[in-house]
Chain A
């Protein structure tokens, strides 16, 4: 199975900060990576697919990059609504559709 490792696990930041979350795959997944945002008690929301494609309706302050085994999600200017947990998900391999363990973005 392909393992996905996110870093950091928790991130403390202030409104207006530029925030970067990293996701590493245990083997190459080309660009088959998605990013989700999840708030407490809510379902995950798709932000990015195919590593860098912004889902319709998602603010442009969110961006994704990377290919192969290393990927990043960047929030260019953190807004109050962005404090949440973020998950990456690989979908290169049929065996698992695995998610990362999550990165919690907290208020500093």
Chain B
């Protein structure tokens, strides 16, 4: 059964770069059927999509975060990663990695998330 697991520092200082990795187990990240994404949730608040990547390296980013976000994939390790630069307290959140299907007919992903990791809390504080 395919599972996703986030990992990375739980505490990041303001102005520094937040770095997280999502490890895919029980299946291949190189599956042509899926995109892989990051979503975050500030404590007590709603959900915000950050960005997504295909195994080929094709990416989509939330325009509101695009200038600070880089998502990359390492198929040899079955992992994909998130980097968010110049963080502030507003970036404190639970960060989830998730999977969403790829529509071969249109050539674009479907943008609903059908499998999620457990999430990891990242706090931005000095």
Contacts and interface: CB of A to CB of B under 8 A. Distances in A.
A101 B46 CA distance: 5
B111 A91 contact: yes
Contacts of A94: 60
Contacts of B113: 34, 36, 44, 46, 89
A102 B49 contact: no
Interface secondary structure of B, over-half rule? loop
Nearest to A46: B114
Which of under 10, 10 to 19, 20 to 34, or 35 or more describes the interface residues of A? Answer: 20 to 34
A49 B62 contact: no
A99 interface: yes
Interface stretch (B15-23, B26-34, B78-86, B116-124): B116-124
Interface secondary structure of A, over-half rule? loop
B118 A99 contact: no
Nearest to B37: A97
B112 A99 contact: no
A29 B49 CA distance: 17
A56 to B, nearest CB: 9
B99 to A, nearest CB: 10
A87 B114 contact: no
A97 B62 contact: yes
B34 to A, nearest CB: 13
A82 interface: no
A55 to B, nearest CB: 7
B119 to A, nearest CB: 5
Interface of B: 46-49, 60, 62-64, 96, 98, 110-119
Given A43-B119, A49-B110, A97-B111, 7 more contacts: A32-B111, A43-B117, A44-B47, A44-B113, A96-B62, A97-B62, A99-B49
